[in-house]
Amino acid sequence: MSNQDPRRIAPAAARNRDPILDVLRDALPSSGLVLELASGSGEHIVHFARALPDLHWQPSDPSPDARASIAAWAQGVDNVAPPLALDAAGEWPVVQADAILCINMIHISPWAATEGLMRGAGAVLPPGGLLYLYGPYRRAGVALEPSNAAFDADLRARNPEWGLRDLDDVSACAAQHGLRVEAVLPMPANNLSVLLRRV
């Protein structure tokens, strides 16, 4: 994009948005508010909002540059609200959501962000409400794929607080806040869709 265009482009978003959408079509409610944390460029939420127009979509990101990108991508998409400044580990400016999405955040943030995500999701989701996670994870008894091992090493070199999380640790943290794992689905490029429900 040009210097005047705030829209960011995340190449992975174009590759994974349709496989993710296929999962969300079955998992999301037919109507209501979907909150996305760490919306990044905004490409995902705009794609999902166009495909699922009966839902209202609330993007968020702690980065001002990301929020500018989200707002630019969302122009003309009536069911996407203006992006909120939201840090998963901090106070949430949202008190209710019917579902929450968090794509590719947990491994590129400190563990405190995961703890904040689970705490916030437990507080704002109704019983049966969906928390959808997407990204690479370590799994007990499953060898880490070479590409994910290299990715993990790169993340930890960039920031020692980052890196692929053990799915068991993420699930245990979720359980502390009233969320249980409903399904773990394999996705392209050695990623997983993790569906959790508020008890």
Q: Specify the DSSP element, H or E, that contains 112.
A: helix 111-124
Domain ranges of the chain: 1-131, 136-175
Q: Which of 8-12, 26-30, 91-95, 97-101 has the lowest mean pLDDT?
A: 8-12
- pTM (global) more than 0.95: yes
Q: How is 4-51 classified by DSSP, letter by letter?
A: T------HHHHHHHHHHHHHHHHHS-SSEEEEEES-TTSHHHHHHHHH
pLDDT band at residue 4 under the 50/70/90 scheme = confident
Q: Specify the DSSP element, H or E, that contains 186.
A: strand 179-187
Q: Residues 159-174: pLDDT tens digits?
A: 999 999 999 999 999 9
Fold for domain 1-131?
A: Rossmann fold (3.40.50)
pLDDT value of residue 1: 55
| Site of tokens 């540059």 | 65
